Amino acid sequence: MAEIAELAQRRPQRADARRNYDALIAAAREAFGTLGTSAPLEEIARRAEVGIATLYRNFPTREDLIESVYLEEVEAVVQAAQTVGHLDPWPAMLAWFDRVMDYIGTKKALVDALNRDSPAIQACRTSLFSAGQPLLARAQQAGVVRPDVSIDDVVRLVTSIAGAVFPSVEQRSRVLSVALDGLLLQRT
């Protein structure tokens, strides 16, 4: 299985090639955000102001481009789990999943990407699970969260909500809150 650090090494070393690569990533991120992952590659090359051959030289397949676009962003979400680790267990989980929701909710194409089976997307999914697992385990050990849920369950719950269309960010946040409240251990 590919590691995120290995995948990040795709970025060229030469300054001119790196500029083209970065322009392609930025253009693809924008195009995927508005048109989805099926955005025409010619449109992405046009937005990046490079030729289609430059796009294919850097990203031989659409899958390679999709993976690269979301790689560094997933890494930022993974790092966010560490920044909330000082909070109490339940607020830490809520804060991280809110960050996950903000990230995925603004990038609908990522929901589709996370359902792919490529080594890079698998590495991203594994990284998300690894980042969230300690937060979930800590909340379960504190007796706050149901012991019968896994990080896979919770990430799928959050990504399902993130993939839905909401008329406002407020409603999306409210729906996430209601769903995550279902994780709380019921005391009788």
pLDDT at 165: 81
Tokens 């799928």 belong to 156
Does the pLDDT of residue 136 top 60, yes or no? yes
Q: Average of pLDDT values for 19-47? A: 91
pLDDT at 110: 59
Range of the domain at 9: 4-181
Does the pLDDT of residue 28 top 80, yes or no? yes
61 is a domain residue: yes
pLDDT at 173: 86
Pair 128, 101: CB distance under 8 Å: no
pLDDT at 9: 63
CATH of the domain at 52: 1.10.357.10
108 is a domain residue: yes
112 — pLDDT class (breaks 50, 70, 90) = low
50 is a domain residue: yes
C-alpha span between 46 and 73 (Å, rounded):
23
160 — pLDDT class (breaks 50, 70, 90) = confident
pLDDT at 2: 46
137 is a domain residue: yes
Higher-pLDDT residue of 89 and 105 is 89
Question: What percent of the chain clears pLDDT 70, i.e. is strictly above it?
Answer: 84
Does the pLDDT of residue 48 top 90, yes or no? yes
If one counts every other C-beta atom within 10 angstroms of the C-beta of residue 121, the result is 22
Burial of 101 by CB count in 10 Å (0-12 exposed, 13-18 middle, 19+ buried)?
A: buried
186 is a domain residue: no
71 is a domain residue: yes
**Amino acid present at 24:** L
69 — pLDDT class (breaks 50, 70, 90) = confident
If one counts every other C-beta atom within 10 angstroms of the C-beta of residue 125, the result is 19
pLDDT in tens, 82-95: 999 899 999 999 99
Domains identified in the chain, total number: 1
